[in-house]
Amino acid sequence: MSGLHVQYYIVCKRKLWLYAKNINLAPENDKVMEGAILHERAYRQIKERDIHIDNQIQIDAMDKYYVREVKNSSKMNEADRWQLLFYLYELKKRGVEKKGLIQYTKEKKTQEVELTHEDIARLDKMMNEIEQIIDCVQPPKFVKKRYCPNCAYHDFCFAGEESE
Ligand code: SF4
pLDDT digit string, tens, across residues 3-28: 999 999 999 999 999 999 988 765 55
Give the span between the Cα atoms of 75 and 52, in whole angstroms.
25
- Specify the pLDDT at position 56: 78
CB 1 within 8 A of CB 130: yes
Say yes or no to pLDDT of 164 above 50: no
Q: Which residue has the higher pLDDT, 26 or 87?
A: 87
Pocket test for ligand 1, best of 11, 23, 148 (most atoms within 8 A of CB): 148
Residue 132 belongs to what domain range? 3-158
What are the strands, taking DSSP E only, across the chain? Answer: 48-53, 57-62, 66-71, 99-104, 109-113
Quick check: is 11 in a domain?
yes
Cα 146 to ligand 1 centre (Å): 9
Average pLDDT on 61-77 reads 92
**Mean pLDDT computed over 81-89:** 97
Span from the CA of 64 to the centroid of ligand 1 (angstroms): 38
Asked if residue 119 belongs to a domain, the reply is yes
pLDDT at 28: 55
Find the CATH number of the domain harbouring 21.
Answer: 3.90.320.10
Q: How far is the CA of 143 from the centre of ligand 1 (A)?
A: 7
Interval 138-148: pLDDT, tens? 999 999 999 89
Percent of the chain whose predicted confidence (pLDDT) is above 90 = 65
CA angle 9, 36, 12 (to 5 degrees): 15
Q: Is the CB of 142 under 6 A from ligand 1?
A: yes
pLDDT bin (cut points 50, 70, 90) of residue 79 is: very high
Does residue 164 lie in a domain region?
no
Q: Quickly count: other Cβ atoms within 10 Å of residue 157's Cβ.
A: 20
